[in-house]
Amino acid sequence: MNIGEIARRAGVSRSTVSYVLSGKRTVSEATRQRIQAVIDELDYRPNASARALKEGRTRTLGLVIPPASQRLTDMQLGFVASVVEAAARHDLDVLLSPSGGDHDRSFERIVTGRRVDGVVLMEIRLEDDRVTRLARTGLPFVTIGRTAEAHAMSWVDIDYAGLIARCVHHLADLGHRHVALVNRSAELVAAGYGPSHRALAGFQAAVAERGLVGTDVCCGDDTASGEACVEQLLVTHPEITAVATINEAALPGMQRALTAAGLAVPADFSVTGVAAQHWAEDFRPPLTAADVPMREMGAEAVSLLLEIIAAPGSLPRHRLYSPPISLRSSTGPVRVR
């Protein structure tokens, strides 16, 4: 059953039926009652688009992701999947939009085109023009990650500073004195990528607190970069006995470099960090790590966004996740070389 059949039976135009369903234009009471009688007789249920039109909403959320030209990491894809799944549970669609570089027009269409009821924004920089743009428009939004001054916006995030600090303390408790942080790429750090800067701050604070010697390096988000990074570390800093990392995509390469150097994990070298659970469990031996709860974070972001859409004047809400360090098999007491 569709609007055309209702219009035929009620003896009116399709547009008149649409006006009754949407409430966008006034229709005489007699005509409205005639149309409503047909609707009741046919037990017609408007589809999602018609309901949205009547509610004045699109029933669509925007999810702004990194540029499509970049290969998304598994963690980024996990956040995308979690947001889509959470939206589906609320009978909502998700419109994906890349941002950055040549894709700013797509983001601008999301902001100004009235195509979505609200936006979830990923991969946040400490100073992020996209956040400023959304705040100025009044379009409801929630971020996965947060800017340097994030009190006035709603967000969910991982406590990278605290978690990396805990990783360093764990290594120090095992007797490691020379440790390294394998961060994300130099390009992300230069762009002010929040997780990279907070991880570095946490690393430096913990190293200073425990009186360790710390080295930090940037690394691309791929296997080859991880391998090259650790190879270089072992050459330039042979005294290092352990690394902490937030670069899960580099883990397979890091493992390959350690194996090639004849270093057994954890007997000769320890590895720990912050990663998605499947990356940690695929490492050999399984990685001691703080497992990022992507599914919960995506669901929380959608829940916060729906609250803002329903109550635009509500106070900003924040959720900082600090999961426990899962002690697996990749860390052990330092071995005197």
- Sheet bearing 118-122, strands edge to edge: 93-98, 60-65, 118-122, 141-144, 155-158, 318-321
Please report where in the chains the tokens 């229709």 appear, as a residue.
27
Using DSSP's 3-state secondary structure scheme, residue 307 falls into helix
Instruction: Give the pLDDT confidence score for residue 301 in this predicted structure.
Output: 96
* Triad 307, 311, 313: Cα angle to 5°: 120
Instruction: Give the pLDDT confidence score for residue 47 in this predicted structure.
Output: 56
b/e 104-116 (16+ beta carbons within 10 angstroms → b) = eebbeebbeeeeb
Instruction: Give the pLDDT confidence score for residue 6 in this predicted structure.
Output: 86
Q: Are 79 and 298 in contact (CB under 8 A)?
A: yes
Instruction: Give the pLDDT confidence score for residue 316 in this predicted structure.
Output: 93
Instruction: Give the pLDDT confidence score for residue 98 in this predicted structure.
Output: 85
Q: Which of 49, 54, 57, 55 is nearest to 140 (CA)?
A: 57
Which ranges in 149-270 belong to alpha helices (H)?
160-173, 186-190, 194-210, 223-236, 251-260
Q: Which two tokens stand for residue 43?
A: 């037990």
Encode pLDDT of 45-69 as tens digits.
655 445 544 556 788 999 998 765 4
Instruction: Give the pLDDT confidence score for residue 296 in this predicted structure.
Output: 95
DSSP, residue by residue, 68-132: TTSPPPHHHHHHHHHHHHHHHHTT-EEEEEE-SGGGHHHHHHHHHS---SEEEEES-BSS-HHHH
Instruction: Give the pLDDT confidence score for residue 70 in this predicted structure.
Output: 65
Contacts of 322 (CB under 8 A, 6+ apart): 158, 159, 162, 163, 290
Instruction: Give the pLDDT confidence score for residue 48 in this predicted structure.
Output: 47
- pLDDT per position in the chain (337 positions), as tens? 567 788 888 899 888 887 777 666 778 888 988 888 888 887 766 554 455 445 567 889 999 987 654 677 888 889 999 999 999 998 899 999 887 665 678 888 888 878 899 999 999 999 999 999 999 998 999 999 999 999 999 999 999 999 999 999 999 999 999 999 999 999 999 999 999 999 999 999 999 999 999 999 999 999 999 999 999 999 999 999 999 999 999 999 999 999 999 999 999 999 999 999 989 999 999 999 999 999 999 999 999 999 999 888 889 999 999 999 999 999 999 987 6
